[in-house]
A and B are shown apart, each in its own frame.
Chain A
Amino acid sequence: MKAADFLDLLEKKGFNFFTGVPCSYFTPLCNLLAVKETTFHIPAVREDIALGLACGAYLAGKLPVVYMQNSGIGYSLEAFASLPIIYRMPVLVLTSYRGPQDQDMEEHLVMGQHTEEILQSFKIKYSIFGKPCKETAVVEKAPDIQAIRQYLLKEELPYFLLVGKGALT
């Protein structure tokens, strides 16, 4: 899917605050966010800080999106536990699903193997967008942003979209 179409889709569905830390899987999206003046975007310095910004923006009336590499889940898990999960704040988290598709990159292997388990153990709802990462994984061709939005607003909890390599071009 074209990053521009994906961003349009998110904005049409009311997502209006973007923050995060880049991943090479998100290069087309990050490049767009960097230049698109009509989009509210703050490049953050850490993933937990990005989540704090997003939660502040939500309190002030925005519907936020946080983007990060799955390595950032490690940095921000406690922030998820102590902010949006207990206060109940909707945050869409775009996370690159590094690891399974980066077999030659050791640094992504451990987090990649456990990304879904971590989300499951925190009872965080997620879906996968892009190439299959595990044989058992459910793969969506294009994410149903409307359904995700409904979930976020109804449950007031974070939702993760795990984005595979090449899903956004």
Chain B
Amino acid sequence: MNRLQAIKIIIDNLVGDELIVNANGAISRESFFCKDRKENFYLLGSMGLPASVGLGIAVTRPERKVIILDGDGNVLMGFGNLALIGALKPQNLVHIVLDNQAYGTTGNQPTISSKIFLDRIALASGYRSSCCVETEVELPGRFSESLAQLGPHFIQVNVTREVIRKCNRIPYSAPQIKERFKNCLL
């Protein structure tokens, strides 16, 4: 499966008003393209920090489900986030890493994620569950299970580097993204 297909499966299997923190670059753009939601926060930059922002939301609002839609490059850059999430164990957090083993937005330069096991690192860090999903068939079940059970959960989704459609930049300004997201948390 490619990244856009994986994102579509995740969005199609949302239950309702889950909050999604979308990583910068292609992930935000493809998520926006699949379905723009007021519960979506789009990072325009801040490489390495999607998990930090998601964690800040999750610990503040434990009654809301928070999904971090992350990439392997982002996880590798903000590696300390895995330790912090594992230590704090927010039950309402699902951390999804779309792993294409590359910096997709900048031209698919390889990351080192092919040489390590992100899912095992998440488990060793203290996530309540961690898995690696290889196929489109497995993803809906794994995702729905994680949404239904106490977290934090880590789902590594192996995706290809294939880009079937180049998605445009988010058409909102940063303050517009913030205001809309903040308003749905009032």
Given A46-B80, A49-B80, A49-B81: A59 and B55 interface contact (C-beta under 8 Å): no
B46, B80, B178: the one contacting A79 at CB < 8 Å is B46
- Among B53, B58, B182, B185, the most chain A Cβ lie within 10 Å of the Cβ of B53
A45, A57, A86: the one contacting B84 at CB < 8 Å is A45
Q: Would you list 7 pairs from A and B whose C-beta atoms are within 8 A, ordered by A residue?
A: A46-B80, A49-B78, A57-B59, A79-B49, A81-B45, A82-B46, A86-B174
List CB contacts (< 8 Å) of A115-140 with chain B. none
Interface size on B, residues (CB 8 A): 33
The residues of A with any CB-CB pair to B shorter than 8 Å are: 17, 19, 40, 42, 44-46, 48-62, 78-79, 81-83, 86-89
Q: What is the CB-to-nearest-CB distance from A55 to chain B, in angstroms, rounded to a whole number?
A: 6
Do the beta carbons of A60 and B60 come within 8 Å of each other? yes
Residue interface bits B167-186, CB-to-A below 8 A is 1, else 0: 00000001101100110011
B84 to A, closest residue via Cβ: A45
B131 at the binding interface (Cβ < 8 Å): no
Residue interface bits B18-50, CB-to-A below 8 A is 1, else 0: 000100000000000000000001011110110
Residue interface bits B67-101, CB-to-A below 8 A is 1, else 0: 00000000000101101100010000000000000
B46, B177, B186: the one contacting A52 at CB < 8 Å is B46
- Among A61, A83, A87, the most chain B Cβ lie within 10 Å of the Cβ of A87
Given A49-B80, A56-B53: A88 and B186 interface contact (C-beta under 8 Å): no
